[in-house]
Amino acid sequence: MNEMKKKVMVSGIQPSGDLHLGNYLGAVKNWAELSDEFDCYYFMADLHTLTVRQDPAALRRRTLTQLAQYIACGLDPEKNTLFIQSHVPAHSELGWILNCYTMFGELSRMTQFKDKSAKNSDNINGGLFTYPTLMAADILLYQPDLVPVGEDQKQHVELTRDIAQRFNNIYGETFKVPEPYIRKVGARIMSLGTPTSKMSKSDPNGCVFLMDSPDDIARKFKRAVTDSDRENCVRFAPDEKPGVANLMNIYSSVTGKTFDEIEKEFAGQGYGAFKPAVGEAVIDCLRPLREETDRILKDKAYLESVYKEGAAKASYVANKTMRKVKKKVGLVAQS
């Protein structure tokens, strides 16, 4: 009896900085649990990093480190297609074609273009403006059913759907129109320094990186913002105590304990006991990931085999889509 075909899922993260606790708890950890249910494509979005000036050697190092971290976090290359975006030329090729089916007004309304332009006012380049069409190409190449997203990426999936539907309306059924896959509730990790903002690579003091040493992790949690009240009580009240709520969310995510269990565990102990305990729990959680990442990075032949095989598998699927697209728009096929 034929095995039922799995639904397809695709996603990527820019190697613009090392993966952090928010990436792991909010995305990569959950991805590992999906590999039996979905046919998954995960890539290092190195082309997207170029909208901001990069140190070439650092970008290469971060790309390979991120791939090693994916594997260390449970993304088995035998079950998931892991590859580097720039190793599959169809991403750039379809990105250009989709530029011609994306309206100027649509791109000008993209929230992240406005945000990134404000942060990089001396380098507002064309790629920064049109990168959502490359993101649409990243997705549509693999004809996915689902795209895992957080709140800040919903707009990109909506634009991707609009582009796909526009193209299909002109040329007939070409792209599958994907649905957003909303991740589990409770994995939105905020900055340790500014708990009203999401944990980000751009705020290294409020961000815990997967490759941080135990001492660095402990120091960051000891300095974590709690709240300015006099209560000094570990209680889950996000509106009143966002700092404590964030720490409880992190502690719950790495230990599996409920908020009620956490409140009982630290009843009467205050923030002085709670913050170091969260730090220790995170250290215990990340230690095997860091050690496995280091081991994989030393095995250069294995890592190279993973990204080469991943690119070959991804290219096979992507090129099937490209042949269809080129025929639809009237490009002469290569003999």
pLDDT tens-digit map of 190-219: 999 999 888 988 788 899 999 999 999 999
Start-to-end C-alpha separation, the chain: 38
Contact 210, 289 (CB under 8 A): yes
- Condensed to tens digits (0 to 9), the pLDDT of residues 15-70 reads 877 789 998 888 888 888 888 889 999 999 999 999 888 899 999 999 999 999 99
Residue 185, classed as helix, strand or coil, is coil
Q: What gap in Å lies between CA 316 and CA 245, rounded to an integer?
A: 45
Place of tokens 């990442």: 293
Q: Which two tokens stand for residue 57?
A: 């050697």
**What are the strands, taking DSSP E only, across 76-194?**
80-84, 146-149, 179-182
Mean pLDDT of the chain: 89
Q: Which two tokens stand for residue 15?
A: 């190697």
Going by C-alpha positions, the residue among 248, 251, 243, 249 that lies closest to residue 195 is: 243
Contact 39, 10 (CB under 8 A): no
Catalytic residues: 116, 198, 201
Going by C-alpha positions, the residue among 180, 181, 191 that lies closest to residue 31 is: 181
Classify the C-alpha dihedral 96-100-41-203 as positive or negative.
positive
Going by pLDDT thresholds of 50, 70 and 90, the confidence category of residue 176 is: very high
Fold of 204-294: Tyrosyl-Transfer RNA Synthetase (1.10.240)
- Listed by start position, the domains of the chain span 7-186+299-329, 204-294
Q: What gap in Å lies between CA 79 and CA 148, rounded to an integer?
A: 17
The mean pLDDT value for 268-290 works out to: 94
Q: What gap in Å lies between CA 25 and CA 186, rounded to an integer?
A: 9
Q: Residue type for 36, please? A: D
User: Distances from the Cα of 69 to the Cαs of 28, 202, 329, in angstroms?
Assistant: 9, 20, 39
DSSP 8-state symbol, 190: B
By residue count, the chain amounts to 335
Reported pTM: 0.85
User: Could you count the other beta carbons within 10 Å of the beta carbon of residue 183?
Assistant: 18
User: Could you count the other beta carbons within 10 Å of the beta carbon of residue 64?
Assistant: 19
- Condensed to tens digits (0 to 9), the pLDDT of residues 241-265 reads 899 999 999 999 999 999 999 999 9
Q: Which two tokens stand for residue 171?
A: 């040329």
Q: What gap in Å lies between CA 153 and CA 81, rounded to an integer?
A: 22
Q: What gap in Å lies between CA 41 and CA 39, rounded to an integer?
A: 7
Fold of 7-186+299-329: Rossmann fold (3.40.50)
- Condensed to tens digits (0 to 9), the pLDDT of residues 165-175 reads 999 999 999 99
User: Could you count the other beta carbons within 10 Å of the beta carbon of residue 323?
Assistant: 14
Contact 16, 207 (CB under 8 A): no
